[in-house]
Amino acid sequence: MAIDYERLKTRAFEEIEQTYTTRDTILYALGIGVGADPLNEDHVRFTFEEADGFAPLPTMHVVMAGPGFWVREPDSGVTWEQVLHGEQRLTIHNPLPPEGTLIGKTWIKDIVDKGPGKGALIYVARDVHDKATGTHISTSISTTFARADGGFGGPDGPTLPVHTLPDRAPDIVDEVPTLPQAALIYRLSGDSNPLHASPAVARGAGFHAPILHGLCSYGVAGWSVLRTCCGGDPTGLKQFDLRFSSPVFPGETLQTQIWVDGEIVSFRTTAVERQKVVLNNGYAKVAR
């Protein structure tokens, strides 16, 4: 079943109401790899509900009140086995409470047909509000790269612009090791795509093993920026955008190169063991 442009562009998503607890907040942080140093108060702040200043990691916004792995539904027209996460953008309007109930509204912003054999880009936007107060929490835009679904006759643009990194040596370099079981922990925060758990599905998609969720590596890079540029303060991160340039395998060490220009932080992340850039064109806005 091929993509039907008009049908997909106007696809109606139900509003998602998600109630979460401190347990979910901690589980997300553990999935990112926070807690590796149990004596470090910067880690404990995100992994122990009684810690002073306990709060969610700011990148947790991107996994809240979403529609799930909707491309797996037959009427999407998307070959879900060949889908990858291409880009992620996040604007944080207000801090995420440690627990509560959120309302998420999702819609298809744009669809770009790259042509036969070149795939398609599906830009999916989501606004999240706090149910109790109505507070606007965040706005996110994710780019789904449907590798097998180009050539359906849709428009070939426009694509969203990407950030250009500074032409100088990085100001900061930070490394975070990931666990071999990182994808199995992270998927408990809501992304059930079998690509991250099933060896058979991974092989069918052309990988030798299940890969790490793009949003998990996104969170790892966010953790690097948060602790090096925001003093570990979860309210210090205001925007976090990047492009996924290559898959990450659980157990790899992620090294993030960081450039600081006032409130603008640029970054890219490399899988150290393969010397492969896995996250690129990173743009963050931080409080100063």
Is 211 noted as a catalytic residue in this protein? yes
Q: Is 196 a catalytic residue?
A: yes
Tokens of 127: 């606004």
Length of the chain as a residue count? 288
Burial degree of 220 (CB within 10 A; 0-12, 13-18, 19+): buried
Catalytic residue among 113, 149, 191, 241: 191
- The token pair at 232 is 């570990």
- Please indicate whether residue 137 is annotated as part of the active site: no
Q: Which of 190, 237, 204, 276 is nearest to 96 (CA)?
A: 237
Q: Which of 196, 213, 222, 241 is catalytic?
A: 196
Residue 191 known to be catalytic? yes
Helix%, strand%, coil% for the chain, nearest 5: 25, 30, 40
Catalytic residue, chosen from 92, 211, 213, 222, is 211
Please tell me the distance from the alpha carbon of residue 268 to that of residue 22, in angstroms, as a whole number. Answer: 30
Let me know: does 157 contact 43? Beta carbons within 8 Å.
no
Q: Residue 122 in contact with residue 89, Cβ under 8 Å? A: no
- Sign for the CA dihedral angle at 146, 217, 264, 139 comes to positive
Task: Determine which one of 214, 222, 236, 282 is catalytic.
Answer: 214
* Active site residue ranges: 191, 196, 211, 214
